[in-house]
Chain A
Amino acid sequence: MKQKNSRGAAFPIFCVHKNENISATARYKCMRRSLLVIMLAITLIPLAIVSALNFVQYRQLLREDSLANARWSAESARAAIDAYLEKLEAAIIVLIDTYSFAELSEPRRLNQVFRQLKKEHQGLVDLSVIGADGVQRAYVGPYRLVGKDYSDSNWFHPALSKKIYVSEVFMGFRNVPHFVVASSKKEATSDEFWLLRASIDAETLDRFLAAVNTEAVEDIFLVSDKGVLQSSSRYQGGVLSEYHLADKPKQSGMLLSEDVRGEDLFYRAVSRIKNTPWLLVLDQQGYAKRKIWLFFKGRLLLTLSLCALAVGGVVIWLAGFLANKLKESDEARDAILSETEHTSKLASIGRLAAGVAHEINNPLAIIGEKAGLMEDLLGLDESFRHREKFLAQLQDLRGAVGRARAITHRLLGFARRMETSLSLVSLNEVIHEVLSFLEKEAAYRNIHIILQLQPELPAIMGDHGQLQQVFLNIINNAIDAVGNHGEIHITSYPGEGKKVQVAISDTGPGMSPEVRKHIFEPFFTTKMDKEKRGTGLGLSITYGIVKKLGGEVEVSSELGVGTTFILSFPAYQENGGGEAHG
Chain B
Amino acid sequence: MAEVKILVVDDESDFATTLSERLELRGFAAKAVSGAEEGMALLASGWRPNVVLLDLMMPGIDGLAALDLFKRHDPKLQVIILTGHGSTESGILGMKRGLFDYLMKPVDIGELVEKIRQASEVAASGG
Contact = CB atoms under 8 A, between A and B. Distances in A.
Interface string A350-385: 000010011111101111111011001100100000
Contact of B12 (A357, A365, A373, A401): A365
A362 B104 contact: no
A354 B84 CA distance: 10
B88 A419 contact: yes
Contacts of A361: 83-85, 104-106
B32 to A, nearest CB: 11
B19 interface: yes
B106 A405 contact: yes
A527 B84 CA distance: 27
A380 B83 CA distance: 29
Contacts of B105: 361-362, 364-365
Nearest to B11: A362
B88 to A, nearest CB: 5
Nearest to A369: B18
Contacts of A362: 12, 15, 84, 105
Nearest to B18: A369
Given A373-B21, A376-B25, A380-B25, A368 B88 contact: no
A248 interface: no
A236 to B, nearest CB: 113
Contacts of A380: 25
Contact of A369 (B22, B87, B89, B104): B22
A362 B11 CA distance: 10
B106 A358 contact: no
B86 to A, nearest CB: 5
**Interface SS majority for chain A:** helix
A274 interface: no
Given A362-B105, A364-B105, A376 B12 contact: no
Given A372-B109, A380-B25, A365 B87 contact: no
A29 interface: no
B14 interface: yes
Contacts of A372: 18, 22, 109
A405 B89 CA distance: 21
A412 B19 contact: no
Contacts of A408: 84
Contacts, number: 65
B66 to A, nearest CB: 17
B25 A368 contact: no
B40 to A, nearest CB: 23
Interface string A230-264: 00000000000000000000000000000000000
B107 interface: yes
B106 A365 contact: yes
Nearest to B109: A372
A409 interface: yes
Nearest to A419: B88
Contacts of B85: 354, 358, 361
A416 interface: yes
A365 B19 CA distance: 9
A368 B22 CA distance: 11
Interface string B66-86: 000000000000000001111
B15 A373 contact: no
Interface in B50-104: 83-89, 104
B22 A358 contact: no
A372 B85 CA distance: 21
A370 B12 contact: no
B13 to A, nearest CB: 10
Contact of B106 (A373, A377, A401): A401
B15 A365 contact: yes
Given A376-B25, A380-B25, A409-B104, A369 B15 contact: yes
Interface in A407-457: 408-409, 412, 416, 419
A401 B106 CA distance: 8
A362 B10 CA distance: 10
A429 to B, nearest CB: 23
Contacts of B86: 357-358, 409, 412, 416
Nearest to A362: B84
- Give 6 nearest A-B pairs by CB, closest first: A361-B84, A365-B105, A368-B106, A365-B106, A369-B18, A358-B85
Given A361-B85, A366-B14, 12 more contacts: A361-B83, A361-B104, A362-B12, A364-B106, A365-B15, A365-B106, A366-B12, A366-B18, A373-B22, A376-B22, A380-B25, A412-B104
10 contacts: A362-B84, A365-B106, A366-B15, A366-B18, A368-B106, A368-B107, A369-B106, A372-B22, A412-B104, A419-B88
